[in-house]
Structure 1
């Protein structure tokens, strides 16, 4: 939700310099808040995070990175993920291969687990 709101706000900024300054501030804040936790993720947890980001934002992680910090860095992170057998371009498929994740998320959201 915060990412979507930030993206919408960035679109209202008057010039590229203002947009880049705001994006840098967002990137710094996200890194400070989450980098320690992300470094501790296992491979499976990282792949799950990529899928859940797509589920929540209706965009792949690659598309979000590309929109915020550019296609070069998005490509870099995609290559890095690929080294570990993951893909930032992978789309969430709640009716297909990700049905179990979807079921689990729905159960958590409804308070069943």
Structure 2
């Protein structure tokens, strides 16, 4: 009975906070600023409920598998912010390149960006383990919907893309590796969503 009452209350709460509101302002109620919305001529308290991800509990076959999961969580927490920064830089660079008048100006800007990226990220990259580096390649693909190879090729040309791909291959990695959230990277996707949402 208590469970049903709880479900009804939660449903009612979600319904009230998901009502379409036209204007939003804040009103002080009991010493707290509360967002208010106009709904059918009435001002009512309103708010946005954050998304909460609920996954089936993981079952580990042994201690080693459990330790690998915790290592993945640690690696995602370290590498995911870098992948987001890289994606932001890619977007900003692309948008700025569109404003430049000719190819020569674009190439000059790309060289400046490349130099800045090396100065900014080389110390961070040196601190990454091999597993974290491979994870970063995949998370860059997740964030930008393009492999690292495609990004390097688009901004720096096929020669540099080939050079960096060969260099990565020497260490058993590939810039062409794609992120597969439904297959190989399903567990990684779960961890990323939880980390992104502050649940891990």
Task: Provide the residue aligned with 1:97 in structure 2.
Answer: 184
Unmatched 5+ stretches in structure 1: none
Unmatched 5+ stretches in structure 2: 1-87
What RMSD over aligned residues (CA atoms) do the two structures have, in Å?
1.0
TM-score (norm 2): 0.55
| Higher CA-based Rg | 2
TM-score (norm 1): 0.95
Match of 1:12, SS state, is coil
Comparing both chains, which one has the higher relative contact order based on Cα–Cα distances under 8 Å and sequence gaps of 6 or more?
A: 1
Deviation for aligned residue 1:81: 0.7
**Whole-Å Cα distance in 2 between the matches of residues 45 and 89 of structure 1?**
16
Task: Provide the residue aligned with 2:149 in structure 1.
Answer: 62
Deviation for aligned residue 1:22: 0.5
Deviation readout 1:8-55 (Å, 9 max, x if unpaired): 321332211100111011111111111011122111011000001000
Q: Specify which of 161, 165, 175 is matched with residue 78 of structure 1.
A: 165
The number of residue pairs the alignment matches comes to 113
More helix by share: 1
Q: Specify which of 97, 112, 116 is matched with residue 10 of structure 1.
A: 97
